[in-house]
Amino acid sequence: MGQNHIIESLRKRVGKQVGLNVLGGGLSLLGGLAILAATWGLIYLISLFALGPWLGYRHWIHSAAGWVIIPTLFWGNARTSREYLTEYSVSVGTTFDTVVDFYLPGIGMASNVNPLAPDTIHTGVKMITDCLYCGPRVVMSGVKTLGKANRIRRLDVEACGAVIAALLATNRKLAFQEIVNKVGSIDPPLVFSQLHDIDGVIFLHAEPAGLTLSRELRQELLHNP
């Protein structure tokens, strides 16, 4: 298969990736803004009911609470590990060593979790915080996806296509130096960094570090008319 054909196939693939990333990023951004609007409304209501007796119904003050807290959520989300927020620990009663749900006649389902224990309260706070961070997470995901679309749009299709053609011709892993020797006139740092954004190009770090193509990308390029 000729290099020009691969470059043209890559150009079409890149155009499709840009479109999908713009669509996905835009939808994520709109969804995140909708979640933030709902979060702001919740903060407004909580402020209204909690501070109303002291502040009265000065709506601008309760509205300002949301505008102050929303940026704080972005800051906290950026500094907090998702793994930390999903690590839960609760205290249970002395009858059982593990959490047990049971049915009490006339009451319904009950649990032996101690709701006033410090680690149970801490877990509850983490769960609430995790929910509040949903808006910032979705917004930042949309921003990153749109940024990826912009990077792919500026991709050097000719140089990346030449690298992919070399990988397709050899049908094996090629070390970075082998690629430079085979392809010739490319800017290795620029091209190799751009190849990260092409689905199907696999970076292998075992010595000697290099690149290979996924089976799906090989089949797509070989059977693409």
Q: Supply the pTM of this predicted model.
A: 0.73
Residue count of the chain: 225
Helix (H) or strand (E) holding 53: helix 3-55
pLDDT tens, position by position, 93-102: 555 455 444 4
CA distance 14 to 221: 13
Q: What is the pLDDT of residues 117-171, one digit of tens each?
A: 777 778 778 888 889 899 999 999 999 999 999 999 999 999 998 999 889 888 7
In the predicted model, what is the mean pLDDT of residues 13-28?
93
Query: What domains does the chain contain, in order, with CATH numbers?
Result: 25-140 (no CATH), 155-223 (1.10.10.10)
Is the CB of residue 152 less than 8 Å from the CB of residue 20? no
DSSP codes joined into one string, 141-169: HHHHHHHHHHHHHT--HHHHHHHHHHHHH
Q: At 24, which helix (H) or strand (E)? A: helix 3-55
Strand 101-104 relative to strand 174-175, pairing: unpaired
